[in-house]
Each structure stands twice: as structure tokens, then as C-alpha cells.
């Protein structure tokens, strides 16, 4: 659910640097131990600059999560070409998504693990991101030609949850460098759920 930190969508350079600083600080110390001083040091900006953009470190982490999630959704959107074969589209989209994650292991851990340190607020932002990806899947999968079965919202969310669990398992096993290899089981999952198997 990420892209390169340098690609995070941010209209203000200081805000962008603060998001980068948050990602690096949390990766180094974990969310609970990260202070605003850590974030501004990593970002090479002042404490005052931090408060011009964010009220709290939680707000900064949420902004990072949202920017990276929107970036990941853009990667998926850009990978879809309705003119191509359905199975090629799935493979291309999953390869692009996992390639995007693999480019920034620091950000992956921050977004898949540390966001949960915010409790209900973190779960809510994670739910919104998952809903956006599931909605996108519904649009793409249900408009394909020759589909034998429409995807339900519940099954779209099941796919998103399954992919998230694959990523979490890779993080827990210290295999973030192997994220690209998860594209194949993710493709198999989409095909199985949509009954588009070989």
C-alpha cells in the first residue's frame, strides 16, 4: 500500500519532508517511542514547522498512511489496461503493487504495523484505505468481459485482507526484501475468488 517516499503526493515541501521524517523515525524506534523531536530531526525542519502542518504525531502518521495508500491505489489504477486480457491485467497490477511495496521496506513496516499503534484512529484510517482498494477492485473486476461471476463487496474485502496478511507475514518473518514474490499467490487468490482460473 505504498510507493517511494520521494513520490508521496504533497503540495508543500516541508510537509513532504515531515512525512519522510515520520517514516524514518518510526522505522528506527517504533511509533510509541518516536517523539516530535525525532521527526523534525529526521526531516531537518524546526518544531515550529511541524506544528504548522500537524497538531500531533498521530496526525502526521495518519497523513503519511493516507498519502502512501493513495499512492498505492494510483499504482494499481495505472497498471490496469481494459484493452488487455483480464489475466494479464491481474498479473500486471499485482506485480506493480508488490514492486511498489518492495521499493520502500521502511515505509512498509510503518504502514502495516505501526499504524495499529494508534488504536481506533489507526484502525479507522486503515479501514478507509482498504475500502478504497476494495471499491476499486469491484469496479475493475465486475466490468470485465465474459465474467462468469460478479465479485461481491465482501469478497473484494476478503481479497484485500488476504493480501494484507501476506504482507504482514513477510514483515514478521523479516522477508520484506521478498515482497515481489507475493504477486503470484495474490494473483492466484484473485483468480480463485473470481473463478477465473486456468
| Phi, psi torsion values for 149, nearest 5 degrees | -155, 135
Cell of 5: 517516499
pLDDT digit string, tens, across residues 47-79: 999 999 999 999 999 999 999 999 989 999 999
- Domain positions in the chain: 5-194
CATH homologous superfamily of 5-194 equals Tetracycline Repressor, domain 2 (1.10.357.10)
Cell of 195: 473463478
Nearest to 115 by CA among 105, 126, 107: 126
**pLDDT-derived band of residue 197, with 50, 70 and 90 as boundaries?**
very low
pTM across the whole model: 0.84
Amino acid at each position: 500500500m505504498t510507493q517511494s517516499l520521494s513520490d508521496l503526493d504533497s503540495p508543500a515541501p516541508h510537509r513532504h519532508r515531515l512525512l519522510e521524517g515520520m517514516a524514518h523515525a518510526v522505522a528506527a524506534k517504533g511509533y510509541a517511542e518516536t517523539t516530535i523531536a525525532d521527526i523534525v530531526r529526521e526531516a531537518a525542519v524546526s518544531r515550529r514547522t511541524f506544528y504548522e502542518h500537524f497538531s500531533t504525531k498521530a496526525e502526521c502518521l495518519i497523513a503519511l498512511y493516507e498519502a502512501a495508500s493513495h499512492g498505492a491505489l494510483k499504482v494499481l489504477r495505472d497498471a490496469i489496461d481494459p484493452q488487455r486480457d483480464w489475466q494479464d491485467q491481474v498479473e500486471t497490477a499485482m506485480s506493480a503493487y508488490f514492486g511498489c511495496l518492495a521499493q520502500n521496506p521502511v515505509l512498509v513496516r510503518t504502514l502495516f504495523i505501526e499504524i495499529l499503534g494508534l488504536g481506533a484512529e489507526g484502525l479507522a484510517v486503515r479501514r478507509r484505505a482498504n475500502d478504497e482498494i476494495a471499491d476499486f477492485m469491484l469496479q475493475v473486476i465486475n466490468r470485465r468481459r465474459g465474467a462468469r461471476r460478479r465479485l461481491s463487496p465482501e469478497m473484494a474485502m476478503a481479497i484485500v485482507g488476504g493480501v494484507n496478511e501476506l504482507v504482514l507475514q513477510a514483515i514478521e518473518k523479516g522477508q520484506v526484501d521478498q515482497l515481489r514474490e507475493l504477486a503470484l499467490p495474490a494473483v492466484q487468490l484473485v483468480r480463485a475468488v473470481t473463478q477465473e482460473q486456468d
